[in-house]
Amino acid sequence: MTHRLFWIFWIAGSLLIAHLSAEIVVPVALHNMLGEADSVVVASTAWSNAPDGSGLIQLTITESLKGPLRAGERVTLPWPRERLLPPMRAWPGDSSHGMFFLKRTNGWQPLTFLRGGQPDLQWLFYFIPREPLPAEYRFGSALPLADRIFLLLSWADSRAPLLPSLLQGMLLRNRLNLDFTPGKRSALVTQRLSQLTESTAAHHQMSGIRTLIQQGDAGAIRKLGTEYQRFRSDARGWQEITRAVLVELPQAPGVTAALGSLAAANLSDAPLRAAAAGALARIHDREALPHLARLLDDHDPEIRAYAVGGLAMFANNVPIGQHHPAPGDWPFRTSATMDRSTMSPGAIARDPAKYIGFWKDWWRDNQAAAMAPGR
């Protein structure tokens, strides 16, 4: 019985996650490119044709981010021009100056990843303005390479906006594997993320908020509750933000209270409220219990199901991130709490007294003990 009930719970949550993840296409991860590249440079370009008709590109290095190449050096490398020009034409501004990822194999070659059996070159060139870097971006090797790449691309975007999908995708999926551990993130990265959350461009604001949510920033959750209507036109990005709230949000000061407010808010976006309720159920610690108890009266059956599931996980002592009760004694776990563990809106609708009624009574009878420090 225990295994069956908690697998039902897990499957219900997984179905929502799968729904939110549908149709999200993830290009080659930038951190993979950084790891595979022998050299990452900013360079100006000059094109020519090889005798066999293929393309040649001469790079004049203006900035070295990784590897042995240095500013002022020139390298010539083959480039299948017909595959590069379409994405290059998509970049605004001067497409003859940008960031390149190179591999040293019998001379320098463009780093390529195969996608569908063909080299994927679209993600190997990023337009960079042909102008001196501001003093605050001349950080040399003092920062991790991923931080430097992020700051350089975000600066480039601020000067001449890149395709919205670049900066947004770079942050939404953390393609650079930026280290967001408190104390390890550079002040410049922190500043840039904060600037993005105040951007007038919806896709930039969404990127900043999504990244801060991934770090457990309660302020970003609150801002999401007030700004969400700006983001809903971007279906893919909105799915990623909603999924981040549901499954990626870490425990951090103020997060539970912000989730409780978001789940109970009078919003027109039901998936966002449901994601906040699901996150409360996933956390199901002492601080989350009052919020979950209030959601038992919510008009949305999915949110009521999360409320039942979250209270059940606490009462049955299911560790966060796991699916079965922890072994040993637990004062709130009984055969009745085990029998009323579900996350199925359908099961609850068929017998609301068994689930909603039970957990309301349970909260009334156990609130003081459950909220006692140390639980």
Q: Could you tell me which of 335, 266, 341 has the C-alpha nearest to residue 306?
A: 341
Q: Give the model's pLDDT for residue 177.
A: 59
The phi, psi pair for 182, rounded to 5°, reads: -50, 135
Tell me the per-residue pLDDT of 179-194, one tens digit each, with 9 for 90 and over.
655 555 667 777 777 7
**Which three-class secondary structure string do you get for 350-367?**
HCHHHHHHHHHHHHHHHH
Q: Give the model's pLDDT for residue 27.
A: 39
Tell me the per-residue pLDDT of 194-244, one tens digit each, with 9 for 90 and over.
777 887 777 778 878 887 887 788 988 998 888 888 887 777 778 878 887
Least confident range from 148-152, 176-180, 221-225: namely 176-180
| Torsion, CA 105, CA 106, CA 108, CA 111, rounded to 10 | -30
